[in-house]
Amino acid sequence: MSDASDEIEARIADLQGWRGKTLAAARRAVLAADDGIVETVKWRKPSNPAGVPVWEKGGVLCTGEVYKDKVKLTFAKGAALDDPKKLFNSSLEGNTRRAIDFFEGDDVNAAALTALVREAIAANAG
């Protein structure tokens, strides 16, 4: 496991309640898409010293941000992806990115999320 993977594990462990469980479930679904996905942590700043978990293969696939009221997965090329299960529910107005906001009580549709990550991998390869 990489240092970034360890950091993401620690971040999930530090989160209490539904946000940690949601980020962990999303992370499992993302990593299930392909053995070659690399975890990194980017965009550290004073207001967020832990940074943002990032999953990459051939470029950024998606990021996992945690807020007080939601866990947000933002797909770098989300606007170009096929989303038959209608997972995207945020940042829909942009020309490039799309996001999935998970709120307390929301379930992570692991199969659909894994399929969406595979679409993102194909978009990065294309």
Query: What digits encode the pLDDT tens for the residues 102-122?
Result: 999 999 999 999 999 999 999
Q: Which amino acid is at 98?
A: R
Q: How many domains does the chain have?
A: 1
Query: What digits encode the pLDDT tens for the residues 2-55?
Result: 799 999 999 999 998 999 999 999 999 999 999 999 999 999 999 888 899 999
Buried b (16+ CB within 10 A) or exposed e, 57-69: beebbbbbbbeee
Domain span at residue 19 reads 3-125
Is residue 113 within 8 Å of 62, Cβ to Cβ?
no
- The CATH number of the domain where 51 resides is what? 3.90.1150.200
Q: Where are the alpha helices (DSSP H) in 32-109?
A: none
| Gyration radius of the chain's alpha carbons | 14
- Strand, coil or helix: 43: coil
Rounded to two decimals, the pTM is 0.94
